[in-house]
Chain A
Amino acid sequence: MKRIGIISLFALLFAGFLINWLYSYEKGREGAYISISDAKDPPTILSESAVFERSGFALEYVDMPVDAQHQRTLDDYYKNRAYPGAPPSIPHPVKEKRSMGGKVCLQCHQNGGFVEKFKAYAPVTPHPAMVNCKQCHVEQQTQAYFIDTDFYKKPAPAVGTNNALPGSPPVIPHQLQMRENCLSCHAGPAAVKELRVTHPERINCRQCHVPKEHQFETVERFVRANTMSND
């Protein structure tokens, strides 16, 4: 009797298991029916999406003190570029000579932070997806010239004079190509004091700050055309 009880208990448990298993299998088949049309990823618009990158850090940036001792100056910032907008050269020695850059560079330059070795904050790259770093950013082996140059270095856009009205948001005085991500240069510990935005938590930067120069062409004056010309 006892044995029958035990056997029937296990039989019951097994039956329960079977029912459950079959039920969830059927449910699963139903779920599998779901993909009639595949979820397609919406396209990415680099010039638009990059603005919002790093916005997860925005609240951190609000509260970021300027570390005066280890701060880059605006002068240093531009000295490292052949002209405003040129790719900066690598101002520190690079141990790994053969690599294109990639992870080695991104280790410090993807998210920034203090680098003990150089006693400096690593600047954050606005385009971490482009990993062949050294195709544009080269190490300086010497400060001497082969032959002196007559190249004219255009002065950098002045800070604090790019607004149309007193107190109105400044326009963007530089090109945006490869620099779509505002927060990488305008916020964080490596950002130059003069270039730091006071309100990094306002993520949609270009709702107030619009480019001064149109990206691909010179801007003509707005002249009213004869509106009857479409007839």
Chain B
Amino acid sequence: MYRSLYTNRRSFIKKMAVLSAMTAAAGMFPGIVFAEEQERGIPTDANLDWKKAPCRFCGVGCGVLVGTENGRAVAVKGDPKSPVNKGLCCVKGYHSIMALYGKDRLTKPLVKKNGTYVETSMEEALDLVASKMKETIADHGKDAVSIYGSGQWTIPDGYVASKLFKGCIGTNNVEANARLCMATAVTGFLTSFGLDEPMGCYEDIDHANTFVLWGNNMAEMHPVLFSRLLDQRLRRGAKIIDFATRTTRTSMAADKSILFNPQTDLAVANAICHEIVNNGWVNTEFVKEHCNFSKGLTQMGYGLEDHYKFTDKPESITFEDYKAFLADYAPEKVARLAGVSVKDIKYLAAHFGDPNKKVMSLWCMGMNQHSRGTWINNLVYNIHLLTGKISSPGNSPFSLTGQPSACGTVREVGTLTHKLPHGVVMNKEHREFAAKIWGVPVENIPAKPTYHTVEMFRALDRGDIRFMWIQVTNPMVTMPKLKRYRDGAKKEGRFIVVSDIYPTPTTDIADVILPSAMWIEREGLYGNSERRTQYFEQMLEPPGEAMSDTWQLVEVAKRLGYEKQFHYGRESHIEEIYNEYRKHHEGKKHNMAPLEVLKSQPGALWPYVDGKSTKWRFNAKYDPACSNGKDFHFYGKKDGKAVIWQRPYEPAAEEPDSEYPFWLGTGRVVEHWHTGSMTRRIPVLHQAMPHSYVELNPGDAKRMQIRTGDKVRLTTRRGKIVLPASVNERGVPAPMQVFVPFFDENMLINDITLDSFCPISKEPDYKKCAVKVEKA
């Protein structure tokens, strides 16, 4: 009757041979097939000028080529030369340039006078910002002024901000929104390895046999990397395991989907270690040579109260102590708590334990926005350290990021209260080193960190902070327990400056709004999740008086009297700043690639040593900084050994009870990026995802007689909000859980979320609080 695809075995084998040849060719010229095909869709009369840039949106850092014509950006394609995305983008990337042309683009500075905004010139607005800063410092002290930046800051933006506030003004009131997303990844890396950022790179994907996604809806949030996973599955039969609290597009694509109860990932990770230790899957030689065991304080609290402080006290333990600790985490004991079957726990453990399998763990906000986030990061590193599956191709615990320069700017430049470009403010040598490069007296840099993000907004509410400059971020959508911080920011005697490209809920609270140049309207650099630094040139003129965030800061710094430290030339300042910044990272452990290199290729991975990117850190075969003569050297720690941490399970800050019986989790969707201030102005994306919603489990919805589109009221101890229901659409939460995306400024879910945070990283837990659900 009909010919099946597989009936003719010979032709099938032949086809496979042809295909594998094609695959090999595609491997040599990755993505090129795809980009060419895409180009055919472009009208032949198009006389486009294509220039390379990293994508404006997430932390994957795809290389894009932007086509410009007559001074306007008109098309985007994936950069086939970029090893990150090999010519592919996601729907946001392909339409990213449309975010430049929203009708309500801010083009003139606005100053609030008697309750209304009045247009002024940039000169005047910057004068006002500088004089307000001087006034606030004179009246309330240095620690009353602050800057709140972003993982969307370019490297030069963050660098001049840190130099101005820490080096010149002399306050550690420098924070960035990455505190809300990557701070836990940082403390995870620092506690386990002593140095921040992943040891591996995206190339691990091409070698791994199993991908374990820890609470990570990659199909929507990191779609381009996920397509590389799918590709490897298709070509090599790699396995994708989705380990999550909610069923998503990723669960649908995965080979195996395992659901667990919120917060119990801590217990399951320990159960996996229990299996590894008790089944003899420990790579004893690796552990003996390269690992230490430690424990820290427990029952640390949740940071719910103002002025909350916590410092961990690490204590050495033996392997026997650790083994005894794990006895409480036998799969049989964990199963009920976690809602994961013993079989599934053993299945996960078996993938990690199999010495012939290369395993890559991937995670993002599920593990980072976690009231015990540093712990769960440590626990996943434990699994990889116990089995020695780390720092080699395909064996890689990999922490993904959500913003284009969360790594490049916030983590590497160090725009957090305790950080310096190299090292921390608490360390005298680090302060001296930074002060020397900055050309400021070392006494300028205070040795004590001040406020982390949540505490900084609390300080603004209390009145300890009087002046805040917010750049490239939208905290009036993203802060947890938002109402308190919005009310605080609106109080008398607070002065808020906001630099942005569109009106947002954050510009609504501003006293001065500065129009910024966006992305390719200026020159800059981003750093992505795999330590790749990427450069982009200015391709377009910014609209009206819009100015880059870097130059806004430089102009204000000059007005404050720091001409000497900010003597950069208008045309050459990005190059000058980057070259100055590179001095902080000199040496084999963190050397940054020279600007000429970054201009000529789609980025380079640091440490960039002897003209080469370092793909796998801590592995002597690939990393020239290894100096102990062994195969691996975890040189972030003084003894060259990584730490396996004893971290127990502890409950979340607020768990469902009889009054608030549901879990509330928040997150994102593929169409919109973060608070939607850019993507909602892209017609294609708005039409595909016009507003937020609350996802319910179909069983719960049926019981409460709620159908898709019905209004649902969510009430927490912080307040209430009404949202349309979504049943059996994009995602399905587990029974007695609801999920709400946070991109919609007209439905501010963060008004009702909880501001509990990980005591070590101070990063809030947006994934867990208790909520009451009713049909409205």
Near B by CB (< 8 A), chain A positions 212-231 give 212-214, 216-217, 219-220, 222, 224-225, 227-228, 230-231
Chain A proximity of B486: nearest CB distance (Å): 8
Question: What B residues does A204 contact at CB under 8 A?
Answer: 219, 223, 226-227, 230, 249, 253
- Whether the pair A227, B745 counts as a contact (CB closer than 8 A) is yes
Minimum distance in angstroms from B49 CB to a CB of chain A: 13
The answer on a CB contact under 8 Å between B748 and A207 is no
Task: Tell whether A222 pairs with B234 under 8 Å between CB atoms, given A37-B335, A52-B253, A216-B708.
Answer: no
**Interface presence of B319 (CB below 8 A):** no
Contact with A along B704-715 (1 / 0, CB 8 A): 000011000000
Task: Pick the contact of A207: B19, B226, B335 (CB < 8 A).
Answer: B226
Q: Pick from A59, A63, A213, A217: contact of B234, CB below 8 A.
A: A59
Per-position contact with A for B77-119: 1 when CB-CB < 8 Å, else 0?
1000000000011110011011000001000000000000000
A184 within 8 A of B: no
A163 interface hit (Cβ, 8 Å): yes
Partner of B75, one of A33, A35, A168, A225: A168
Q: A111-B5, A168-B76 are in contact. Are A36 and B342 (CB under 8 A)?
A: yes
Binds B, one of A10-18, A69-77, A113-121, A126-134: A113-121
Contact A227 B91 (CB under 8 A): no
Cβ of A209 to closest chain B Cβ, rounded Å: 7
A117 to B, closest residue via Cβ: B1
Q: Is A160 an interface residue (CB 8 A)?
A: yes
By beta carbon, the residue of chain B nearest A220 is B690
B439 at the interface (CB under 8 A from A): no
Interface check A125, CB cutoff 8 A: no
Q: Tell me if B721 and A230 are in contact (CB < 8 A).
A: yes
Judge if B666 is at the interface, Cβ distance under 8 Å: no
In the complex, whether B262 has a CB less than 8 A from a CB of chain A is no
Cβ of A140 to closest chain B Cβ, rounded Å: 22
- Closest B-chain residue to A198, C-beta based? B37
Please tell me if the beta carbons of A201 and B37 are within 8 angstroms of each other in the complex.
no
Contact of B680 among A114, A222, A228 (CB under 8 A): A222
CB nearest neighbor in A for B218: A204
- Once the chains are docked, how many angstroms separate the CA of A213 from the CA of B684? 10
CB pair A114–B2 under 8 Å, yes or no, is yes
Task: Assess whether B252 is interfacial by the CB under 8 Å rule.
Answer: yes
Instruction: For B730, list chain A residues within 8 Å (CB).
Output: 45, 47-48
State whether A63 and B18 are in contact (beta carbons under 8 Å apart), knowing that A201-B231, A203-B234, A207-B90 are contacts in the complex.
Answer: yes
- The answer to whether A202 and B227 touch (CB under 8 A), given A34-B332, A164-B683, is yes
Query: Is B186 at the interface (CB under 8 A from chain A)?
Result: no
Cβ of B204 under 8 Å from chain A: no
A227-B681 in contact given A108-B1, A164-B98, A165-B74 (Cβ < 8 Å): no
A148 at the interface (CB under 8 A from B): no
Q: Report the Cα distance A204→B253, complex, angstroms.
A: 8
CB of B638, distance to nearest CB on chain A (Å): 44
How many of chain B's residues touch chain A, expressed as a range?
A: 35 or more
A46-B728, A107-B1, A230-B751 known; A39 vs B483 contact (CB < 8 Å): no
From the candidates A35, A167, A169, A225, name the one contacting B42 in the complex (CB within 8 A).
A167
Judged by a CB distance under 8 angstroms, whether B28 is at the interface is no
Give chain B nearest CB distance to A230 CB in angstroms.
Answer: 5
Contact of B341 among A37, A207, A211, A225 (CB under 8 A): A37
Minimum Cβ distance to chain A for residue B345 (Å): 10
Q: Which residues of A in the span 182-219 have a Cβ within 8 Å of any Cβ on B?
A: 198-199, 201-204, 206-214, 216-217, 219
Question: Provided the pairs A167-B41, A204-B223, A230-B748 are in contact, do residues A116 and B1 lie with their beta carbons within 8 angstroms?
Answer: yes
**A residues near B505, Cβ cutoff 8 Å:** 227
CB <8 Å contact, B75 and A42: no
- Could you tell me if B230 and A203 are in contact, using CB atoms closer than 8 angstroms? yes
Question: Which residue from A43, A117, A165 sits with its C-beta under 8 Å from B247?
Answer: A43
Shortest CB distance B476–A (Å): 7
Interface string of B307-339 (1 = CB under 8 A from A): 000000000000000000000000010011001
- For chain A, the bracket of interface size reads 35 or more
State whether A222 and B681 are in contact (beta carbons under 8 Å apart), knowing that A42-B259, A227-B508 are contacts in the complex.
yes
Q: Which residue of B lies closest to A207 (CB)?
A: B223
Question: Taking the complex as formed, is B43 at the interface, i.e. its CB lies under 8 A from any CB of chain A?
Answer: yes
In the bound complex, how far is the Cα of B684 from the Cα of A112, in angstroms? Answer: 33
Residues of B within 8 Å of A208, CB to CB, are 88-91, 94, 223
Whether, in the assembled complex, A62 has its beta carbon less than 8 Å from a beta carbon of chain B, the answer is yes
A105 at the interface (CB under 8 A from B): no
- Docked CA distance A48–B41 (Å): 28
Distance in Å: Cβ of A40 to nearest Cβ of chain B? 7
- CB pair A45 B252 closer than 8 Å: yes
B748 near A227 with CB under 8 A, answer yes
In the complex, are the beta carbons of A211 and B688 less than 8 A apart? yes
Interface centre among A45, A62, A112, A209 (most CB of B within 10 A): A45
A111 to B2, CA, bound (A): 10
Q: Tell me if B685 is interfacial: C-beta within 8 Å of chain A.
A: yes
Highest count of chain B CB atoms <10 Å: which of A59, A209, A222: A222
A15 shortest CB reach to chain B, Å = 29
B15 at interface (Cβ–Cβ under 8 A)?
yes
Q: Does A90 contact B (CB under 8 A)?
A: no
User: Contact between A230 and B483 (Cβ–Cβ < 8 Å)?
Assistant: yes
Q: Which residues of B contact A115 (CB under 8 A)?
A: 1-2
Closest to A41 in B: B257
A60 lies within 8 A of chain B by Cβ = yes
**A35, A42, A59, A217: residue with the most chain B Cβ atoms closer than 10 Å:** A42
Assembled-state Cα–Cα distance A111/B728 (Å): 27
CB–CB A52/B38 < 8 A: no
Q: Does B46 contact A (CB under 8 A)?
A: yes
Query: Chain B contacts of A117 at CB under 8 A?
Result: 1
Q: A-facing mask of B4-43, CB < 8 A → 1, else 0?
A: 1100000000010011001000000000001001110111
**Do A58 and B687 touch across chains, with their CB atoms under 8 A apart?**
no
Q: Does A142 count as interface, using CB distance less than 8 angstroms?
A: no
B365 at the interface (CB under 8 A from A): no
A70 CB to closest chain B CB (Å) equals 12
With A34-B342, A208-B91 known as contacts, the answer to whether A213 contacts B687 (CB < 8 A) is yes
Task: Tell whether B388 is near chain A: CB-to-CB under 8 Å.
Answer: no
Q: A36 to chain B: closest CB distance in Å?
A: 5
B548 to chain A, nearest CB (A): 25
What residue of chain A has the Cβ atom nearest to residue B19's Cβ?
A59
Q: In the docked arrangement, what's the CA distance between A149 and B95, Å?
A: 43
Are B234 and A201 in contact (CB-based, < 8 A)? yes
Besides A35-B342, A167-B41, A201-B234, 20 other CB < 8 A contacts?
A34-B332, A43-B698, A47-B729, A47-B730, A51-B253, A62-B19, A122-B2, A164-B95, A164-B98, A165-B76, A166-B41, A166-B43, A166-B75, A203-B253, A204-B223, A216-B709, A219-B687, A222-B690, A225-B745, A228-B508
Closest 8 CB pairs between A and B?
A113-B2, A207-B223, A210-B688, A39-B341, A49-B252, A227-B505, A225-B746, A167-B42
> Can you list 20 contacts pairing A with B, beta carbon distance less than 8 Å?
A35-B343, A37-B336, A37-B341, A44-B247, A45-B247, A49-B252, A51-B253, A63-B15, A113-B5, A164-B95, A164-B683, A167-B76, A168-B94, A198-B37, A202-B227, A203-B227, A204-B249, A211-B688, A230-B483, A230-B719
Q: Which residues of B are at the interface with A, using a C-beta cutoff of 8 A? A: 1-5, 15, 18-19, 22, 34, 37-39, 41-43, 46, 48, 67, 74-77, 88-91, 94-95, 97-98, 104, 219-220, 223-224, 226-227, 230-231, 234-235, 247-249, 251-253, 257-259, 332, 335-336, 339-344, 346, 476, 483, 486-487, 503, 505, 508, 670-671, 680-690, 697-698, 708-709, 719, 721, 728-732, 745-746, 748, 751
